[in-house]
Amino acid sequence: MLTKKQLFTRGMLDISPHMLSVIPFGIICGAIGVELGFHPYLVYAMSFIIFGGASQIVFLQLLSGGASSLVAVASVGIINSRHLLYGAVLSEYLEKLSFIKKLLISYVVVDQGFAESNKFFKKNRSEEFLHYHLIGTGCTMWVCWQIATLSGIVLGSFVPEELGLKFAIPLTFIAIVVQDLKKLDHVIVMITCGLSSLLFFDAPFKSYIIISPVIALFVAALLLRLKK
Amino acid sequence: MTLTAIIFAGILTYLTRMTMIVLISRDMLGDKIKAVLEYVPSAVFPAIIFPGIFINDFGTFIEINDPKIFGALVAVIVGYFSKNIIATISAGLVSYWFLIFVVFN
Let me know if residue A148 belongs to a domain: yes
Residues B51 and B74 in one domain: yes
CA distance A150 to A26: 8
B28 versus A98: which is more confidently predicted? A98
Question: In this structure, what are the phi and psi dihedrals at residue A126, rounded to the nearest 5 degrees?
Answer: -80, -10
- The yes-or-no verdict on residue B105 having pLDDT over 80 is no
Other C-beta atoms closer than 10 Å to the C-beta of B32 total 11
Domain span including residue B52: 39-103
Residues B25 and B74 in one domain: no
Residues B73 and B95 in one domain: yes
Residues B92 and B44 in one domain: yes
B55: helix, strand or coil: strand
Residues B51 and B99 in one domain: yes
The pLDDT assigned to B45 comes to 98
Let me know if residue B34 belongs to a domain: no
Residues B6 and B53 in one domain: no
Residues B93 and B55 in one domain: yes
How many domains in chain B? Answer: 2
CA distance B33 to A51: 29
Contact A136, A9 (CB under 8 A): yes
* Contacting residues of A for B39, CB less than 8 Å apart: 185-186, 189, 216-217, 220
Provide ipTM, 2 decimals. 0.95
Classify burial at A35, counting beta carbons within 10 Å of its beta carbon; exposed 0-12, middle 13-18, buried 19 or more. Answer: middle
Classify burial at B59, counting beta carbons within 10 Å of its beta carbon; exposed 0-12, middle 13-18, buried 19 or more. Answer: exposed
Taking CA atoms, B71 is separated from A1, A28, A170, A171, in Å, by 41, 20, 10, 9
Let me know if residue B23 belongs to a domain: yes
The CA distance from B22 to the nearest CA of chain A, in Å, is: 6
- The yes-or-no verdict on residue B27 having pLDDT over 90 is no
- B32-88 pLDDT, tens digit per residue, is 999 999 999 999 999 999 999 999 988 899 998 999 999 999 999 999 999 999 999
Q: Which pLDDT band holds residue B104 (cuts at 50, 70, 90)?
A: confident
Query: What is the value of pTM for the model shown?
Result: 0.95
Residues B23 and B58 in one domain: no
The pLDDT assigned to A158 comes to 77
How many domains in chain A? Answer: 1
Let me know if residue A182 belongs to a domain: no
Beta-carbon separation of B21 and A194 below 8 A? no
Interface mutation target, options A112, A174, A192, A196, chain B, most CBs of B under 10 Å: A174
B61: helix, strand or coil: strand
Let me know if residue B96 belongs to a domain: yes
The pLDDT assigned to A156 comes to 83
Let me know if residue B59 belongs to a domain: yes
List B61's β-bridge partners, or say none. Answer: B55
The pLDDT assigned to B59 comes to 87
Residues B48 and B88 in one domain: yes
Stretches where chain A sits below pLDDT 50 are none
* Contacting residues of A for B1, CB less than 8 Å apart: 69
Let me know if residue A117 belongs to a domain: yes
